[in-house]
Structure 1
């Protein structure tokens, strides 16, 4: 793989996929322990229901109610297994990716070793999902994966070394390519939730990747905007922001800025300078620069206040089969933190009507972020 990363795929005891991604300078050997746990059968794939008022599909995934909630370090399900901690990952690792045990979206087909049943009523195609009618349901076909950034119990992407960050980026690209080929997948979404204020239930440094059977409402809206504004929309946005008062960081291949109409007290977009649809299409040079620049951005976000900032790091990618010449890969980093001890909660106007009211002018937010980022040296290790 790129940057000297080594990929080592295997299976967990119940047949779920587990993939190790070894750093180029790893101290780990090539062998990995076998997952010898005795596990219950995997749950049936969830069912999604169509909201006839909006056209959105809602996955009803009751198995998620049983997921781990803020366990102590000695019971961390994302740490390497020990004799007293039968976690999800049997060996020491650098970066590990595995299928979620209680996913919101599951397999379309019966999986290897009979570990998951075939979907009962999968979506036929996008036209099927868009058809009218009350009480419409489909099996929640797709994939949910956990991306473990480190074997350590606590941390986030921003606490990684540059080498490890580069390994995670390589994993994102590899999984985007692989998930895009699965039956019924329409969009792939890597993301990281950070902080209890966001709803994080595991402090272990990790993110997730969702592979959806539909084009998400956010991306559907983006495609409509591109149709209205023109296929070169992202190029014009970047040209508009570069050199302006909302710019935060600029490299050879990437730029970070606070968007013109930021909704959140802290919101940053990070775009590649050329058009690229998803991580799988990025070059080694783009991935190399992103590793350091993204770390510097995240560390700058944490430097705004005296304590770590909760955030959602959402990597928007073009759909698998639509808009690939116009919808550009980009990060949307958002935080509800509007002061050191205050959070923005979505109340009536935002939550019920989708009519946002900004608490902080984007230019003021950008000035504060730019000052914080300026205190962070370039990340070289």
Structure 2
């Protein structure tokens, strides 16, 4: 069987560029070099601690200069042309490269960087550390417009392979404590590029969300994820279920559209998944996203957040999980975080989760009818 191929290159300024070719690619193996004149990379940002919460805030001023909603002919993620010297020199299936204006990095090690988790957990006034780490861009397609849901199953499978590969590589880097793949979709979410793409952040700390999860695990016990999955699979909130994955609207959903997706087997991150799980995910995830898009007449804005276990702790307790959320509460209304949610973190849900599950199931049924997803070549062979 043909397989997904990884090809490692570099951009003119030394940033890493990695091509992942589909199993059924029609591209030749050669790739053009980046002929742009190299420009100096921005200095690594500094993060400051909020002593009221212990959380760290990265102050990354270089991000102010990033491109904002360019026309197709100036798309920085499209394959380069003589009139558009983009970030990707050649045509591609999936391309991954280091972000030019990262929130973390480009330095991975620094004398002013974090000195371990105990150092980061210490509370003090005026504490700062270098924002070491890495931020990568994952281009899902060479097309100017689209999202993960518009991919073919073969291409979706390639992206999943890229997530797994990069999770393993970034986790092995010094000072990286957690790796987070995600996709922001839609101007209502704040995207600055229409090009179908996601990002991967490699943080120098364990994120606040995961820190709260660890506290819940320490109180509940290590079977938390297994017990949640068992409870949700027996509920009326399941929207999709396969041999290896189940998608459901969670019992205490915060957002008008919120779907969680869990693997049936405990895996800490994408790097621990096996081919059969990746094959099924490629088609099941496409069905979920197309179903969410079918809820209304226009595409649904969302954040697709792939939560993974920290690199060095709780890997036997924290399971890989998708949290798909959208602020869209009707065809022409969005949920904005008001005082209770923004200031106090006290959420008020607009739609009962059981009703939301009905809506998502209906959307998936319409998408399956109008835009059916066929298995990947690998899945079909099995």
Deviation of 1:227 (Å): 1.1
User: In structure 1, what is the equivalent of residue 361 of structure 2?
Assistant: 370
User: In structure 2, what is the equivalent of residue 4 of structure 1?
Assistant: 3
Query: How is 1:86-125 mapped onto 2 (pairs within 5 angstroms)?
Result: 86-109=85-108, 119-125=110-116
Deviation of 1:119 (Å): 3.0
User: In structure 2, what is the equivalent of residue 226 of structure 1?
Assistant: 217
1:138 to 115, 129, 137: 129
- 1:301 matched to 2:292: yes
2:345 to 327, 343, 354: 354
Judged with a 3 Å threshold, the aligned counterparts in structure 2 of structure 1 residues 120 and 66 are, in CA distance, closer, same or farther, namely farther
**Helix, strand or coil at the partner of 1:373:** helix
Query: How is 1:1-381 mapped onto 2 (pairs within 5 angstroms)?
Result: 4-109=3-108, 119-377=110-368, 379-380=373-374
Counterpart CA distance in 2 for 1:107 and 1:200 is 22
Checking the alignment, whether the CA contact within 8 Å between 1:192 and 1:208 is kept in structure 2 is: yes
Deviation of 1:39 (Å): 2.9
**Helix, strand or coil at the partner of 1:129:** helix
User: In structure 2, what is the equivalent of residue 113 of structure 1?
Assistant: none
Checking the alignment, whether the CA contact within 8 Å between 2:43 and 2:106 is kept in structure 1 is: no
Counterpart CA distance in 1 for 2:151 and 2:106 is 32
**Helix, strand or coil at the partner of 1:211:** strand
Deviation of 1:226 (Å): 1.0
Counterpart CA distance in 2 for 1:173 and 1:30 is 22
Normalised to the residue count of structure 2, the TM-score between the two structures is: 0.96
Deviation of 1:120 (Å): 4.7
Counterpart CA distance in 1 for 2:173 and 2:24 is 32
**Helix, strand or coil at the partner of 1:196:** coil
Counterpart CA distance in 2 for 1:40 and 1:162 is 37
Counterpart CA distance in 2 for 1:94 and 1:237 is 36
User: In structure 1, what is the equivalent of residue 380 of structure 2?
Assistant: none
Normalised to the residue count of structure 1, the TM-score between the two structures is: 0.96
Query: C-alpha offsets along residues 98-132 of structure 1, whole Å, 9 cap, x if unaligned?
Result: 000000000335xxxxxxxx635111100111112
Counterpart CA distance in 2 for 1:296 and 1:36 is 40
Deviation of 1:229 (Å): 1.2
Checking the alignment, whether the CA contact within 8 Å between 1:108 and 1:184 is kept in structure 2 is: no
User: In structure 2, what is the equivalent of residue 114 of structure 1?
Assistant: none
**Helix, strand or coil at the partner of 2:73:** helix
* Runs (5+) with no aligned partner, structure 1: 110-117
Counterpart CA distance in 1 for 2:86 and 2:162 is 21
Checking the alignment, whether the CA contact within 8 Å between 1:19 and 1:96 is kept in structure 2 is: yes
**Helix, strand or coil at the partner of 1:26:** coil
State the superposition RMSD in angstroms. Answer: 1.1
Counterpart CA distance in 1 for 2:41 and 2:121 is 30
**Helix, strand or coil at the partner of 1:24:** coil
Checking the alignment, whether the CA contact within 8 Å between 1:108 and 1:183 is kept in structure 2 is: no
Counterpart CA distance in 1 for 2:367 and 2:230 is 25
Counterpart CA distance in 2 for 1:237 and 1:119 is 40
Counterpart CA distance in 2 for 1:153 and 1:39 is 25
Checking the alignment, whether the CA contact within 8 Å between 1:108 and 1:122 is kept in structure 2 is: no
